[in-house]
Amino acid sequence: MILIPIYDTILDPFTRAITKKPTGITMLQRIGIGILISIVSMGVAAIVETKRLKVARENRLLNDPDAMIPMKIWWLLPQYLLVGAGDVFTIMGMQELFYDQMPSDLKSIGLALYLSVLGIGSFLSGFIIWIVEKTTGGSGQDGWISDNLNHGHIDYLYYLLAGISAVAFVMFVYSAKSYVYNGERGK
């Protein structure tokens, strides 16, 4: 539970100031904000990758997989900052939800479930990449994910991930509306 004190000391006063509530935002609101930020980060990543491909095309570097594209590394900063912020909200909210909302005798099970969600997410991301490789490539053609990054369309993959995250967000909001918190902490 190392992360909860970090959240409580750094972000909780900030959220209390924004919401004007002594408790700040709820655990489910934290998770929802994290999912929204992840949607935005995937959109930003797609835009940056589209720009990178355009620069590669303009400089005639598409057929040279080892070429350095003349773009500053700072183009990556917004998406990485957004991914980090999204993780802070989502992971902190999930960890707090799975720990706080479990009966006291099952707190360790709650943390195990929280870690299981992260593991399942990793398997699903690998499965999505496998599906994208199988459906977009084949018969000697480069798909979205190519050995030569300049021939692929990782930007399409980012847009797809943003869309999947948007659907997940809608499902999350629908489910979260009916959730009833145990005890006083989540209110």
CB 66 within 8 A of CB 8: no
Phi/psi-derived region of residue 74, left when phi > 0, alpha when psi is between -120 and 50, beta in every other case: alpha
CA-CA distance, 127 to 165, in Å (whole number)? 15
Rg of the Cα atoms in the chain? 20
CB 36 within 8 A of CB 85: no
* pLDDT tens track for 117-143: 889 999 999 999 999 988 987 777 788
Please tell me the predicted confidence (pLDDT) of residue 1: 44
In degrees to the nearest 10, what's the CA dihedral of 129, 131, 136, 137?
Answer: 80
What is the residue extent of each domain of the chain?
A: 3-177
Q: Is it the case that residue 8 has pLDDT exceeding 70?
A: no
Give pTM, 2 decimals: 0.80
pLDDT at 167 over 90: yes
Mean per-residue pLDDT, 23-45: 92
DSSP secondary structure of 11-42: THHHHHHHH--TT-S-HHHHHHHHHHHHHHHH
Q: What are phi and psi of 138, to 5 degrees?
A: 120, 165
For residues 162-174, average pLDDT: 95
Q: Residue 140 carries which DSSP code?
A: T
Q: Is 65 helix (H, G, I), strand (E, B) or coil?
A: coil
Phi, psi of 123 (to 5 degrees): -65, -40
Tens-place pLDDT, residues 44-99:
999 999 999 999 999 888 888 788 888 899 999 999 999 999 999 999 898 888 88
Res. 9: pLDDT tops 70? no
Phi first, then psi, for residue 15 (nearest 5°) are -70, -35
Residue 23: pLDDT band with limits 50, 70, 90: low
